[in-house]
Amino acid sequence: MQYLRNAWRQNAVAYLFLAPWLIGLLGLTIIPMGASLYLSFTNYDMFDPAKWVGLSNYIQMFHDPSYFSSVKVTLIYVVISVPAQLMIALGVALLLNRGMRGLRIYRAIFYVPSLFGGSVAIALLWQQLFGGDGVLDQILSYFGIHGINWVDSPSTALYTLIVLALWQFGSPMIIFLAGLKQVPIDLYEAATIDGAGKVKQFFHITFPMLTPIIFFNLVMQIISSFQAFTPAYIVSNGTGGPLNATLFYTLYLYQQGFTDFHMGYASAMAWVLLLAIAVISGMLFLSSKKWVHYGE
């Protein structure tokens, strides 16, 4: 007991500085997650007391067509946007790594969209660009193509949001550029002496050396893409339309929780999303032993 008292006195200042973080962790993360897990097993509409229903909310997902639509839309968005965004980011990083003039200016210009890409203002701008009589429609009218409302068409609405995601390649690009700076120059000099061209140097030196960076960007972008919400909400006015073409998983979760007041069902959806992201991340970590090289 005396030992614990002495330890508390010696570390009291440290605990005092940690207190705001601990309060935030408990109040904003652990307690809400515990409450969400409990609500996922209840029928709760925010007005009446929660009623325990067991696994009913989880079973209901298998009989909900809109739920499967949201899963399909989200998977298409993740599968297309993440690889394409990483390839664009790596390509631009390779260009900027060639030692061109004004590198800092170009780096800032390419990075700025990442700061505003997911904001409400940019989503509204996207609506004006791809909407009926928008900027893209006016440009295409010079080539005889007119009248396409890219946002309101079920066949193109999702792809306008994928383009918006690609526009935010600045953040992974900066990380790729930092990784390229760490590749030893003598590896390229030795490869050049052995007669290896630029393509062989990329696949046998650059790419293997960048695999830890690629792995990091891949995990972060997949998690971020599964959580995409604002662009779909703004562009579709919160409906996920047209015809559920932009009904992201997070948007459908929001509709269930805060529009239809099915908080129990929304909580169950949130936990399924968390488990799905955890499983995918775990599979990526397991596969990383096969293709990620740490120079050991």
Q: What is the pLDDT of residue 124?
A: 74
Q: What are phi and psi of 42, to 5 degrees?
A: -130, 165
| Residue of 222, 212, 177, 206 lying closest to 82 (CA atoms) | 222
Q: Any idea how long the chain is?
A: 296
Scored b (16 or more CB within 10 A) or e, 58-84 reads: bebeeeeeebebbbebbeebbebbbee
Distance CA(209)–CA(180), nearest Å, equals 8
pLDDT for the residue numbered 65:
94
* Residue 118 pLDDT: 63
Q: Any idea what DSSP says for residue 42?
A: E
Structure-block tokens of residue 83: 């690889």
Q: What is the pLDDT of residue 44?
A: 92
* Nearest Cα to Cα of residue 231 among 164, 167, 170: 164
Tell me which residues of the chain have a pLDDT lower than 50: none
Q: In whole angstroms, how large is the CA radius of gyration of the chain?
A: 24
User: In this structure, which amino acid lies at residue 271?
Assistant: W
Cα separations in angstroms, 27 against 32, 33, 68, 184, 266: 7, 10, 33, 46, 20
Q: Tell me the pLDDT tens digit for each residue of 28-86.
A: 999 999 999 999 999 998 889 999 999 999 999 999 999 999 999 999 999 999 999 99
Single pTM value for the model: 0.87
Residue 85 phi, psi dihedral angles, 5° rounding: -65, -40
Q: If DSSP codes are grouped into helix, strand and coil, which group holds residue 269?
A: helix
Cα 271 to chain centroid, rounded = 17
CA pair distance 66, 87, nearest whole angstrom: 32
